[in-house]
Amino acid sequence: MSEHFSVDRELFNEVMVPNYAPSAVIPVRGKGSRVWDQQDNEYIDFAGGIAVSALGHCHPALVGALKEQGEKIWHLSNVLTNEPALRLAKKLVDNTFAEKVYFCNSGAEANEAALKLARRWALEVHGEEKSQIIAFKQGFHGRTFFTVTVGGQAAYSDGFGPKPGNIDHAEYNNLDSLKALISDKTCAVMIEPLQGEGGIVAPTDEFIKGVRELCNQHNALLIFDEVQTGLGRLGSLYAYMDLGVTPDILSSAKGLGGGFPIGAMLTTTDIAQHLKIGTHGSTYGGNPLACAVGEAVLDTVNTPEVLAGVKAKSTLYVDGLNAINAKYNVFSEIRGKGLLIGAVLNENYQGKAKDFLNAAMAEGVMTLVAGASIVRFAPSLVISDDDITEGLVRFERAVAKMVK
C-alpha cells in the first residue's frame, strides 16, 4: 500500500455517508460467538449482526462452502442458471409450503418482490380495483421506498417525497382494526409472524389465525415477512410452522446467508406464474457464492438437534434474564420466542435501551435494541451454553452499573 492512513472510527466520519452512528469498537475477527476488536478486546456476541449470524462467526461449514465455491464460479447473469441456486431452491421447496423460489440479495428486496408479485397477481386475476396493501403499525419490512412505506413506522418513510399509494396500517394483535380496513379491494396483507424492530411482539393464536381467515374471505394474499424470524430463529425452520397458519408468500433473508448477503421470496406455483419473464429481476440474485453459503446454512440449521437446541437455549436466556431482574428490577417483562428475545425496560428506565447496550459493550457483550426501551438478543442459534452463561454474567455487570 503506497499510502499510509489509520483505519479507525475517525475515518468513518471522514469517508462515510452519515446515516449511521457506529460504535467506536471495530471488530476484526470472530470465532463462534466471540469477537475481537482492533485492540484485541474480546466480546461475546448476543447480537448476531441483527439475527444474521445464525451460525456465529467463521462456522466451518460456511467457510468451507464459500472457499469451495470461490474456486469454481462466482457470478453468472440470469441468462444462465447455476447449480448452487438450483440446489438451495430445491431444499427450500422440499422443506416448506412453497413450490417456487426467487432469489435476491436482502430482506428488503425479498419483500419488494413479494409486494410486486401480489400487486401483479391481483391485477391479472381480479383487475385493477384490487390493489390495497395492508400492513401493521410498528412493522418493519425494509428500506426501499415501497417496503419502507409498507412498514408501519412513518418516521422511516417520511421526508422522501410522495409515497407509493394504497397502503394502510392496522394494529398488530387487534383483529378488529384489520377487519375495519380489509375488503375485496385488498390485494395483500403483509405481516411479521413476530414483530422484530417493533418490539419483539408475538401474535396471539386468535389474531394470527384470524388474519389468515380474513385474507381467505376477501381473496387477499397473506405475505409473511420472515426475514428476521426465519431459518430457525424461533425454534422451527420458519415461524409459520409453529403457528398453524400458512402464508401465500414468504420472504427470507438475514439468517439464510449466515452473514453472506442473500434474500429469497417463496410462494406457490399458481401465484408465481404472474412474475412472467421480464417482470422482475436482480443482477446478483441467485449468485453461486451466496447460494452455496445459503445451502450450507440450511443443511446445518434444519436438523432436529439445532432446532431443539434453540428452544433449550431460549429457556437458558429467559431464566438468566429473570434472575438478573430479580436482583436489579429493571425489566417489566422478558418476551419473545426462541432466540429472538426482548427485555422490556420498566418505567424507571424508559428510553434507555441504547445506554444499556453501551454499558453491555463496555463489559464485553454485544446486544441490540428494539425501539428505545427494549434490549434485544438475537445470538447464534448454536451459541454454546457456556457463552450464554458468561455473556449473561457480563450483561449483569452492565445492569448493575446502570442501576448505580
Grid cell of 247 as nine digits:
402464508
Active site residue 163: no
Strand order across the 365-366 sheet: 27-31, 34-37, 42-45, 365-366
Q: Which of 136, 140, 146, 224 is catalytic?
A: 140
Taking the C-alpha atoms of residue 124 and residue 122, their distance in angstroms, rounded to an integer, is 6
Phi, psi of 104 (to 5 degrees): -145, -155
Q: Which of 254, 313, 337, 352 is catalytic?
A: 254
CA-nearest of 225, 150, 167 to 194 is: 225
Active site residue 225: yes
Please compute Rg for the chain using Cα positions.
21
Q: With residue 384 as reference, give the H or E element that holds it.
A: none
Find out whether 213 and 188 touch, Cβ atoms under 8 Å: no
Active site residue 276: no
Q: With residue 108 as reference, give the H or E element that holds it.
A: helix 107-126
Distance from the first to the final alpha carbon of the chain:
48
Name, in order, each residue with C-beta under 8 angstroms of 75's C-beta and a sequence gap of 6 or more.
284, 287, 288, 289
Name, in order, each residue with C-beta under 8 angstroms of 398's C-beta and a sequence gap of 6 or more.
356, 359, 360, 362, 363, 365
Q: Which of 46, 103, 136, 225 is catalytic?
A: 225
Q: Return the bridge partners of 225, or none.
A: 251
Residues annotated as catalytic are 140, 225, 254
